[in-house]
Structure 1
Amino acid sequence: MKPRPSSLTAFAAAALGAACALPAGAAPDMAEHCRQMPGMAGCEAFRLPAAAAPAAADAPAMQLPGAGLPAKPAQPTPVVELKDGDTYRLRAEVVTRTVAGAPLRLYAYNGSVPGPLLKVRQGSRVAIEFENAIDQDTTVHWHGLRIDYRMDGVPGVGQPPVPPGGRFRYELSFPDEGMYWYHPHIREDFQQDAGLYGNLWVLPADARAYGPVDRELALIVDDVLIEDGRQVPFGRDAATHALMGRFGNVMLVNGDTDVRLQARVGETLRLYLTNAANARTFALSFPGARMKRVGGDGGRYERDAVVDTVTLAPSERAIVELGFDHAGRVPLLHTTPARRYELGRIEVAAADAAPGATELRENADVQAAIAALVERFGDAPPAHVLSMHVERAGAAAGHAMDHAAMGHGGPAPIEWEDAMGAANAAATSADTRWVLRDEAGGAENMDVRWTFRRGEPVKIRLRNPAGGLHPMQHPIHFHGQRFVVLAVDGKPVDNHVWKDTVLVPAGSAVDIVLDPSNPGEWMAHCHIAEHLSSGMMIGFRVE
């Protein structure tokens, strides 16, 4: 194993936040845990009247975004079209907004949440003049783009952190079409959840890449945590909700709690969906509409497919097309095994047009680019195996979820809600360590230093054991590269798409082929923001 460069050590310190030496304190007891989720199996004996949670002896300091800074009302999200060679100014600042009746202080790019929808053409180059007007160091990570690593927004690797009042010029290029997004890469658990995110739409150079549609829309799903009519503050020096991640209880689409869209019978809408939530996986459907999935993280699938639901882990994207045969109301639903959320609706007006047919296109160019990887690596053993674990310090170790001891059986492949309530909220990145472990040599997190050669694909197995302290799903994201998912639990995938993030459910193993096409110093990490803040990241180099 090669020693890690000092730049990556600096990144780890920045990503985890400053001075995280907070005592674990006293954790809530089982009765309080079940009070937060009284309907949970195994909690029948603990269904007590509501009571205040025991206070931790040394609770972490908490704060709201931009405390003490002036804030202006949030503005609607603009659409900004950038041509080759353009320069655009992007500013992180503090805004106020009312959501579900609760007044919120938020961070925002150029005054809107989500930030401006940036539209560029594949093959173009633009510059972003970024200004930091919030009260924390920050950067901008251009998620999914295969760009110069010095523009990737990773502090201590390609750039220094941008301090309050500071500026940085990002020079971006766009080799791949698709829907990407941008967000901070310092204290994502705080800054991203507080509103710093936006879409970057790369239009294909070939206008015929996708089929004809009547309209195209970008939708970002998210959630926000509001209790007793108030915004729940964030850990000032360390991430809270470090076990499961910070789940919101109010769902948002493009920043709204009840998004309304319009269509007509016979029309086709193409929707570009992005999950910007810290921890929540969404299962999205449009009952009453015909839906086909045409694209994912890095553009088009090998072939279109009719689907009922698309599942998006944090940071994943999907491109779907909806057809409408009848007038009426089509809800946008997020459905879990235990609950259904209505996130919005499409009002479909009557029209004389006949319902359209569902054409399933084959994308020969995507198939040709991926076929050789699948054939070469499908049955090959992995070159690397990366496994996922969690550790907790001292007394806090007793307050992770032990499914067997609680009579729940094995872990659910996906935890759709915060099943731990106050115990999760009390866990911080100071007492919780999430781990990515190289099974070959035992190196963990930023002690993992893989080196790949440009143009030489590599097969990697991502293994998420069902046992351990708190097994749960992990969306694993690779910076600056793209990959193909070969198999899940040994079952080959039969329709491929270029990816930058893949969900690894608890108890599963996912095989990918990484295409190391972009030289530089990079990282891979869990995209549950609190897990990243708790150390769940590795470094790799492409030479």
Structure 2
Amino acid sequence: MSSGREGTPALYPRDRVVHRRGMEHPGHDHAHHHTPAAAPFPTDPAGLPEATAPATLEPGDGATVALTIAPVAKRLDGATVRMLAYNGSVPGPALTVRQDTELTVDVANEGDLETTVHWHGLRLDNSSDGVPGATQAPIAVGGRHTYRLRFPDPGLYWYHPHLREDYTQELGLYGTILVRPADDDYWPPAHRDVVLTLDDLLVEDGRIAPFSPAETTHAAMGRFGNVYLTGGDPAPGLTANAGEVVRFWLVDTANTRTFDVRVPGARMKLVGGDSGRVEHDEFVDGVVVAPSERTVVDVLFPAPGAYALEHHTPVGTHRLATVTVGATPATPDLTAAFEALGGAPDLAAERAGLDPWLAAEPDEVLSFVAELAMDHGDHGGHHAHAHGGHHGPSATADGIEWEDEMVEMNRASTSATVAWRIVDPATGEEPDWRFTAGQRVKIRLVNELESDHPMQHPFHLHGAGRFLVLARDGATEPNLVWKDTVLVRTGETVDLLFDVTNPGRWMAHCHIAEHHESGMMFGFTVDEAATAAP
């Protein structure tokens, strides 16, 4: 399934930093091109335009959308902070398009540093994937770039930078794309669609906690925030009618935080994931959404009153939004339709052909490992904690670190002292993949416990194709859905079936921004399918 990559471009063909065991990864010192190492990124919101509410745009087939990146002043609870925005809003414009249409996006960069825009989850032409050095040159400050997008799959997708995501995405550069299916009966009936980004910000002394232009901090666990943002605002108020079925489209845009979303007192039905419908709908108490994952849930609000959209962790509950339900009954009455459990016929057909893939050995295996070069007492203590060495209530449970329990150690960790790696366990080196469009490939992801800091990783494959989760720790996945990101919990082994469709040079990486910026990524090549002889 693999071969050498001679003649293919490097993923980031610029200055690189060599870490232990010969590992290379982006040093991201491209920030030096724009901001001297001694000068921090700006934090003062004075004189900046106030962030606006995101626009809702429904461009038609062949339309052009303009996006401008620029700083804004964003009001949060008790503070006004400097953030970055697409078109003046955090999140950026919410796009709604039709399946099988095309769109041109013109991007102007008036931000803090060079950038790109990655169209997360879309199976698209490689030239518009937004990976610096592989598919485009970075957009300089004051520069512009044009992307051409197509939308072959229904579902929720999103866009964000792919340079210094730990800084730019954290400061608000993200937005959503809802792709309506060509078949109007694809989704079960609902009264309303509500698209929500789930995020958090680390705010200290009335400012967003500082970033280094020269390196990524919080590299060990990622930057956990202390202010939650839902749709860009802390605990916004939403409304619904009694008996209304609201379809929530959830996307986790946080740097590192995984969300466990629940709505106590209401009924929740899982109907979709990253790229369309699940194999079969199911009633759930809550849904776990990892960075860059999307989850689609229908929520029935049975009676008037106030309902909380909550994030639950082993050590606490956080209110993400409040839904005030009025006494007016929703029309039409969709209760019976809500009680019905449908599903995706195409995934039922996929299920019928999975047995050979489940039985087969993987074509490719990846291991997730960390190498820490910090003070032994610091990282050693955290290593023991991650393996259960901490007594009392813990925010680490079910293979997920829900909170930052080693704040000072994590803050001090940088991309120079923490090397996150994705390796081929057969060689101990970066994976060496070469596929052909039209292939299906079984990939095994192994989240190694024997690592300097084992923790969960949301693994993302760029737009070369999409995948199904086959099994977790040998247990067959009970509910299929097409995905581009999968959460691999601490110590877990996950098998994927990767449906390769698009040629080009592509990227795979952990979507914890600080892990990606600290080397947890690699590039792979997909060749054009051979043309049959006439």
* 2:293 paired residue among 302, 316, 324: 316
Amino acid at match of 1:407: G
CA deviation map 1:440-462 (0-9, x unaligned): 22212xxx220112111111111
Contact kept? 2:378, 2:409, Cα under 8 Å: no
Change (3 A) 1:334 1:394: closer
Matches within 5 A, 1:345-384: 345-352=322-329, 356-357=335-336, 358-368=338-348, 370-371=350-351, 374-384=354-364
Matches within 5 A, 1:416-435: 416-435=402-421
Give the corresponding residue for 1:304: 281
Give how far 1:229 is off: 2.8
Matched, 1:249 2:226: yes
Give how far 1:343 is off: 1.2
Matched, 1:277 2:254: yes
Q: Match of 1:10, SS? A: coil
The TM-score with structure 2 as length reference comes to 0.89
Contact kept? 1:485, 1:513, Cα under 8 Å: yes
Give the corresponding residue for 2:21: none
CA deviation map 1:472-517 (0-9, x unaligned): 0000000012100011111111110000000000011111111111
Contact kept? 2:245, 2:334, Cα under 8 Å: no
Give the corresponding residue for 1:438: 424
Give how far 1:334 is off: 0.2
Q: Match of 1:476, SS? A: strand
Give the corresponding residue for 1:473: 456
Matched, 1:403 2:384: yes
Distance in 2 separating the partners of 1:198 and 1:16: 27
Matched, 1:326 2:303: yes
Change (3 A) 1:420 1:373: farther
Distance in 1 separating the partners of 2:294 and 2:334: 27
Change (3 A) 1:368 1:196: same
Give how far 1:394 is off: 5.8
Q: Match of 1:403, SS? A: helix
Give how far 1:9 is off: 4.0
* 2:90 paired residue among 113, 135, 141: 113
Equivalenced residues, count: 502
Distance in 2 separating the partners of 1:250 and 1:314: 16
Distance in 2 separating the partners of 1:490 and 1:201: 34
Matches within 5 A, 1:47-196: 63-65=40-42, 71-196=48-173
Q: Match of 2:156, SS? A: strand
Change (3 A) 1:11 1:310: farther
Distance in 2 separating the partners of 1:503 and 1:382: 19
Give the corresponding residue for 1:18: 29
Give how far 1:363 is off: 3.1
Change (3 A) 1:61 1:351: same
Contact kept? 1:178, 1:299, Cα under 8 Å: yes
Amino acid at match of 1:262: T
Amino acid at match of 2:339: E
Distance in 1 separating the partners of 2:46 and 2:75: 18
What is the alpha-carbon root mean square deviation over aligned residues?
2.3
CA deviation map 1:85-136 (0-9, x unaligned): 1011111111011212122111100000000001110000010011111120
Contact kept? 1:122, 1:176, Cα under 8 Å: yes
* 2:371 paired residue among 379, 386, 391: 391
* 1:339 paired residue among 313, 316, 340: 316
Contact kept? 1:15, 1:185, Cα under 8 Å: no
Change (3 A) 1:391 1:287: same
Q: Match of 1:367, SS? A: helix
Instruction: State the identity %.
Output: 46
Give the corresponding residue for 1:33: none
Q: Which runs of 5+ in 2 are unaligned?
A: 17-24, 528-534
Distance in 2 separating the partners of 1:373 and 1:154: 34
Change (3 A) 1:157 1:114: same
Contact kept? 1:20, 1:430, Cα under 8 Å: no
Q: Which runs of 5+ in 1 are unaligned?
A: 22-59
Change (3 A) 1:505 1:345: same
The TM-score with structure 1 as length reference comes to 0.88
CA deviation map 1:255-306 (0-9, x unaligned): 1112111111121111100000000000000111111000000111111110
Give the corresponding residue for 2:532: none
Distance in 1 separating the partners of 2:96 and 2:472: 34
Change (3 A) 1:167 1:414: same
Contact kept? 1:20, 1:429, Cα under 8 Å: no
